[in-house]
Amino acid sequence: MSGSESDSGWYDETLYPDVAQRLRMGRVLHRDRTGLQDLVIFENPVLGRVMALDGVIQTTEGDEFVYHEMLTHVPILAHGRVRRVLIVGGGDGGMLRRCLEHKAVERVTMVEIDRSVVDLSMAHLPAISAGAFDDPRSDLVIADGCAFVRETTERFDVIIVDSTDPHGPGAVLFTEDFYADCKARLTPGGVLVTQNGVPFLQPGELKDSHRRLGRRFGDAGFFVAPVPSYYGGFMAFGWATDDAALRRQTAEAIRPRFAAAGLVTRYYTPDIHVASFALPAFMLDALK
């Protein structure tokens, strides 16, 4: 396990070998081994309810909006004509909720490998999904996401990979074979976006994903956002499509789509959308 509960009432996350973060633990709402992962849900005075899997912080009520808004609104509004979305992972339901906020979206298929993550999130973190699992446009599939993408005949305008880090069950979702299967499931001009770690502390993941995505898509890159509970600075999100124009649109082009969608956001704006593709120099250097 990568994390532990200290005697002083703190949750120690040690995802990285040389640096760590600590969250004060209030009431522990749930703790068990799900069969696939070690899961704990607890309360923190600043972040609200927190869920960790295998010792790594996955989501918090306090800052989930940054992560979920950026991984949904950026590809959906950049594309401009999204009707069908596939989410791989995302058991807390936050990604599903944000996708369904787009009224033009007709169907969102969510494939989660661990049913208990969904059930426990609905029981203890209901504010994150906010009823999304009850929306008639949602389709929850409990299955291995890698196998689902490989075997399904459905096509999607946007695929969102809301995975854990590339260890344990999440490792296969960072492979070139998986990215190739995703491309085969996209409609022409479709977009794949992925969770890609914190590049300041995980530069290897950034390089590996860039190389693998670049072999399969005409336009592969990243956009970024600061998610406070993901320690280490900017969070990177992978971006891949064959339509290079989609990530080079102006805020003026995105703004009417945002207004038409009627979204109420706490982090995302059309200007943030455009700015998120401007990468800091240390990331650009790593990608050379």
Chain centre to alpha carbon of residue 74? 12
Q: Does 162 qualify as catalytic in the annotation?
A: yes
Distance CA 64, CA 162 (A): 12
Task: Give yes or no for a contact between 105 and 83, defined as CB atoms under 8 angstroms apart.
Answer: yes
Degrees, nearest 5: CA angle 126-35-24: 50
DSSP code for 198: -
> Which entry of 162, 208, 219, 243 is annotated as an active-site residue?
162
Distance CA 256, CA 129 (A): 26
| Beta carbons within 8 Å of 251's beta carbon, 6+ residues apart | 270, 271, 273, 274
Distance CA 258, CA 264 (A): 9
C-alpha distances (whole Å) from 107 to each of 83, 153, 154, 226, 242 are: 7, 15, 12, 29, 23
Task: Give yes or no for a contact between 96 and 87, defined as CB atoms under 8 angstroms apart.
Answer: yes
Which candidate, 191, 196, 257, 243, places its Cα nearest to that of 223?
A: 196
Tokens of 279: 């990468």
Binding region for spermidine: 68, 92, 162-165
Tally of CA atoms within 13 A in the half-sphere of 155 that contains its CB: 8
Binding region for S-methyl-5'-thioadenosine: 37, 112, 144-145, 169
Q: For residue 19, give the amino acid letter.
A: V
Binding region: 37, 68, 92, 112, 144-145, 162-165, 169
Distance CA 191, CA 241 (A): 5
Active site residues: 162
